[in-house]
Amino acid sequence: MDSDDADSDDLRTRLHAMESKLSRVRGQRDSHNESAKRAADQRNSAQNKRNEVQENITSMMDDQKKVRAQAKIHQASRDEIQQSIREIFSRRKGKRDQGQGKSAVIQLSETVGEIDRIEDRIMTDGALPLEKENSLIKKLRSLISRRDELIPHVEHQRIVSIDLNDMDESIQRLRAEADNEHKLMLEQNSLADEIWSEIKPMFEERDFLRGEGDRLHALFLEER
């Protein structure tokens, strides 16, 4: 074999080796790309599932908050009725209620009176300085907010008919109503507890899916 043939064989051998190496590299690249695609798909699936679980948690927690708020309403109504009972006891004893807060009815009456007084002054006092007018408007807004808070309590009180000429009967009726509000409060709190017991395992699922998504994302980056 002359030198030209030897050189040709050597070249073919090297070209074949290079082609084999390139083929292996392409195969490894394709394998990594496929693994990265699988990891990305699994990561996306875990993240989507995690988002779905989080949406369910948020929705159920909103429901629970509403139930808790309803329980607070029943609790406030119970407390208001019990305050009325204490006021009747004081009236029956022939003395004013000492050391107790004003009932919602009295608070609402005073608040509405103050609103009327401020509105009348703002509309009729032409010499009112701007700074003072702004201060009164700010106070008026606060009083209107307070009025709106008191109205539902007072409206609830009106459901219970009270005859102050028969205080014993009034007390019995109010006690029955207070007991009913207390029962409703407990029922709402129990329902809220049930909702929470359903939510708790969902936190574990959400955290697991978050961790799985992070792991798969790291795998995706590694394969890339």
> CB-based contacts of 49: which residues, under 8 Å, 6+ apart?
209
Give the chain's end-to-end CA distance (angstroms, integer): 48
pTM over 0.75, yes/no: no
Q: Which pLDDT score, from 0 to 100, does residue 194 have?
A: 93
State pLDDT tens for residues 169-204.
777 888 888 899 999 999 999 999 999 999 888 888
String of DSSP letters for 158-213: HHS---TTSHHHHHHHHHHHHHHHHHHHHHHHHHHHHHHHHHHHHHHHHHHHHHHH
Q: How many CB atoms lie within 10 A of CB 68?
A: 17
Half-sphere exposure at residue 218, Cβ-oriented, CA atoms within 13 angstroms: 6
Half-sphere exposure at residue 47, Cβ-oriented, CA atoms within 13 angstroms: 11
State pLDDT tens for residues 63-90.
989 999 999 888 888 888 888 788 777 7
Q: Which pLDDT score, from 0 to 100, does residue 99 have?
A: 40
**Exposure b/e, 107-126, CB count within 10 A at least 16 = b:** bbeebbeebeebeeeeeeee
